[in-house]
Amino acid sequence: MKTNYYTLHNGLDIPKIGFGTWQIKDPKVAYESTLAALKAGYRHIDTAAIYGNEESIGQAIIDSNIPRNEIFITTKLWNNAHSYEKTLKEIDISLKKLKTDYVDLYLIHWPNPLEFRENFEESLSETWRAMEEIYKVGKARSIGISNFMPHHIEKLLDNSKIAPMVNQIRLYPGFELEDVINACKKHGMLIEAYSPLGTGQIFTSKELEDIAKKYNKSIAQVCIRYIIQKGYLPLPKSQTESRIIENINVFDFEISNEDMEKIKNIPNYCGDGVNPDTCNF
């Protein structure tokens, strides 16, 4: 269904929900959960070099027998490769592991890694120059960023020819960084929400429990639907087939404006995450 896609600013369609694979490190589990997701109807798989599961995911995609052009694959550049030359090498490593000639989206995973922090602007500029080259030669059908705050975005745009299509950030009910969201919207970037269910504590929310009962849905489904209705792209992760199936079945109901406001204003049960300018990696 066309309505189940967003369109990036370069015209590329991206499925409105993706299967997140962060912390699925066991090769067998990564393979089986990705296969289960594809069987359930996901056509958007999100991974990263640092996740250590690109090979398992690539094999699962092949074994699914779904045509490659029907699956949207995202992977990410890790922090130890922030330079022009290293970035160009890293995309080839990821493509080999994923067993594909291209990814649909390639992201800079973090804006300001510890190793390159003393020369942040130069490092970011050279890394993005390589990302643009990767895009131009077709190894990535779109390029973007992850965990970037407004000041990182502005620094990147100061030295770029192509604006990022996506910013993937930590986002869930009770935790929405309005300054980041506004900066992304200003420059036409789609916001992807990783950890859309928090880190599990969100399931203790009485407010969400009551709303979920009202719609005869699970708390997870309400959270995912909320994010989609806000115009963001959720990336729920699960290793359990029943939950993988549940998490994608969110297109058959709509949350009212009143309940959307209630969800937005629930307490932050899950913490603020990592500051990219002070993280130790």
- Reading the block at residue 39, the tokens are 């069987």
Beta carbons within 8 Å of 85's beta carbon, 6+ residues apart: 130
Task: Locate all alpha helices (DSSP H) within the chain, ordered by sequence.
Answer: 27-40, 54-63, 84-98, 120-136, 150-158, 178-186, 206-215, 219-229, 241-248, 257-264
**DSSP string over 112-143:** S-GGGGGGHHHHHHHHHHHHHHHHHTTSBS-E
193: β partners: 169, 234
The 10 Å Cβ neighbour count of residue 83 is 18
User: Has 51 been annotated as catalytic?
Assistant: yes
Place of tokens 């036409």: 188
Instruction: Report residue 242 CA to chain centroid gap.
Output: 22
What is the spatial distance between Cα 220 and Cα 87, in angstroms, rounded to a whole number?
Answer: 36
* CA distance between the termini of the chain: 40
The sign of the torsion formed by the CA atoms of 89, 119, 151, 268 equals positive
- Reading the block at residue 270, the tokens are 């899950």
Which of the residues 42, 51, 106, 135 is marked catalytic? Answer: 51
Residue 143: what are its φ and ψ, rounded to 5°?
-135, 155
Residues 30, 238: contact at Cβ < 8 Å? no
Instruction: Give catalytic residue positions.
Output: 51
